[in-house]
Amino acid sequence: MRRVLLAAPLAVAFFASPSPAAAQPWVVAPASDGAETISQLFWFTLVLATIVFVLIEGLLIYSSLRFRRRAPLPFHEPPQMHGNTRLEVMWATVPALILVGLFGITVSRMGDLSQLPTDPSTLHIGVTGRQFQWDFAYGTSGVKSTNDLHIPVGTPLIFDVTSIDVIHSFWVPDLYGKIDANPGRINHITFKATQPGTYRGVCAELCGPGHAGMQFRVEAVSLTDFQQWLEQQQPGASAALAAPPVGAPAPGAVAKPGAPAAAPGGNAGAGAALMAQKGCGGCHTVPGVPGATGSVGPNLAGVASRTRIAGGVVANNGPDDLKKWIMNPSALKPGTAMPTLGLSDDEATTIVAFLETLK
């Protein structure tokens, strides 16, 4: 029923703007050196395949039209050609030569792609997939993030990819090809982002009911911005360094347990206290909530300004969306690790009032 109701607005969207976000896929606008190489190979193959396609389809369609007989005499036969050795040799060797050429070109590029950089500035990012989220660890900094990957532009990156349960596949189409996250094994890919921007990352290997929802967001920023972000995220530093919630009149008004009612932010302060009470900090790092330094779930700094949450599965266009999410997460993202806390409607409203201050 919901589908039917959705159909009308979607049909409008369909004709108004065919592809809003994905107007420039990786083949057109690769955002890393590796994606650029792959894109070149893709276009080269496309040109070659198109030539072969036109020749063979042309031959087939021409012969079908040219030699069509509406009512052939039953005992009339065309010349009985049994074959032609010269032609056989030709159509065995010419495609073989084309393919050997394609093979050579590809092998020459594969070396560059698989060569792990030795540059001292190289950043190692640990990627761990699990049902159904992505955990990222940044070099030796001790900083971790979930479903949000931050990378510096222009720095060589090595991703060490693994999984702790079933097989997943780590894929950011605009930045590079996919690599499987196998439990018990670590795979490496390397690339250097060339374009700052926000990119869509997904899991590309069926991993259970939450497979489609196992998405993440990649923020590619300048090296200085990245380092600044990294410092803010240092364990222990998050509460101190994070900006106070916007909307709170003074730093002193940041919610403290036991003093929610005194906070001028109204029930925003009560929300922070409630989050501390409900143990949200066990999994999440939450600026303004003391002791909330968990790294199992996403860091909630800036959650109110994200247009999508839960790895991009759930739309976040205001307090109502956020409230729906925290009241019953698994209804919106099947298989999510976020538990249903059994919040009452009022409790959820209070918490969302606080979350909405985390711009």
Partner 1 sequence: MAITAAPPVVASPELRPSSHTIAAIERRGIGAWLTTPDHKKIGLLYMVSTLIFFALGGLAALLVRTQLALPESPPFEPELYNQIFTMHATVMIFLFIIPFGVGGLGNYFVPLMIGARDMAFPKINALSFWMILPAGLLILSGFFFPDPTGKFPTGGAEAGWVSYPPLSERGPFGQSLWLVGVIILGSSSILGSMNFIVTILNMRTPGMTMHRLPLFVWAMLTTSVIQLIATPALAAVLLMVLADRHLGTHFFDPGGGGDVLGYQHGFWFYSHPAVYIMILPYFGIISEVLQVFSRKPIFGYKAVAYSTAAIGVMGFLVWAHHMFTVGLPVISQTFFMFMTMLIAVPTGIKIFNWAGTLWGGHLQFKAPLLFAVGFLTMFVIGGLSGVYSAIVPVDYQLHDTYFIVGHIHYVLFGGSVFALFSGVYYWFPKVTGRLYSESLGAWHFWLMLIGFNLTFFPMHILGVMGMQRRIATYPIETGFLPWNLVETAGAFLLGFSMLIFFWNAIVSWARGAPAGNDPWLGNTLEWVTTSPPPAYNFTSLPRIRSERPLRDLRLAALGADGLQAQPALESGQPPATAPH
Of positions 122, 182, 194, 293, contacts partner 1 by CB under 8 A: 182
Q: Is 318 in the site for partner 1 (CB under 8 A)?
A: no
7 versus 237: smaller Cβ distance to partner 1: 7
Q: Give how many residues touch partner 1 by CB under 8 A.
A: 104
Output the smallest distance, CB 113 to partner 1, in A.
Answer: 6
243 versus 337: smaller Cβ distance to partner 1: 337
What is the rounded distance in angstroms from the CA atom of residue 149 to the CA atom of residue 172?
10
Output the smallest distance, CB 261 to partner 1, in A.
Answer: 40
What are the distances in angstroms from CA 338 to CA 98, 169, 329, 330?
Answer: 53, 21, 6, 7
Applying the rule CB under 8 A, the residues between 115 and 174 that interact with partner 1 are 165-167, 169, 171, 173-174
Phi-psi label, residue 83: left if phi above 0, alpha if psi -120 to 50, beta otherwise:
left
Reduced to 3 states, what is the DSSP secondary structure of residue 124?
strand
| Local structure of residue 281 (DSSP, 8 states) | G
96 versus 259: smaller Cβ distance to partner 1: 96
Query: What is the torsional sign of CA 130, 242, 353, 302?
Result: negative
Query: What is the torsional sign of CA 52, 55, 56, 61?
Result: positive
206 versus 246: smaller Cβ distance to partner 1: 206
What is the rounded distance in angstroms from the CA atom of residue 286 to the CA atom of residue 303?
10
72 versus 252: smaller Cβ distance to partner 1: 72
Output the smallest distance, CB 301 to partner 1, in A.
Answer: 23
What secondary structure does DSSP assign to 135-192, as a single string?
EEEETTTTEEEESEEEEETTS-EEEEEEESSS-EEEE-TTT---EEE-BT--EEEEE-
Reduced to 3 states, what is the DSSP secondary structure of residue 113?
helix
Query: Which of 188, 260, 191, 180 has the alpha carbon at shortest distance from 35?
Result: 191
41 versus 230: smaller Cβ distance to partner 1: 41
Applying the rule CB under 8 A, the residues between 237 and 296 that interact with partner 1 are none
What is the rounded distance in angstroms from the CA atom of residue 177 to the CA atom of residue 217?
16
Of positions 106, 121, 305, 340, contacts partner 1 by CB under 8 A: 106
Applying the rule CB under 8 A, the residues between 13 and 72 that interact with partner 1 are 13-14, 18-23, 25-27, 35, 37-38, 41-42, 45-46, 48-49, 52-53, 56-57, 59-61, 63-64, 67-69, 72
**The one segment of 134-142, 151-159, 203-211, 219-227 that binds partner 1 by CB under 8 A:** 203-211
Output the smallest distance, CB 12 to partner 1, in A.
Answer: 11
What is the rounded distance in angstroms from the CA atom of residue 82 to the CA atom of residue 66?
20
Applying the rule CB under 8 A, the residues between 204 and 233 that interact with partner 1 are 204-212, 215
Output the smallest distance, CB 11 to partner 1, in A.
Answer: 9
106 versus 227: smaller Cβ distance to partner 1: 106
Of positions 143, 151, 157, 203, contacts partner 1 by CB under 8 A: 203
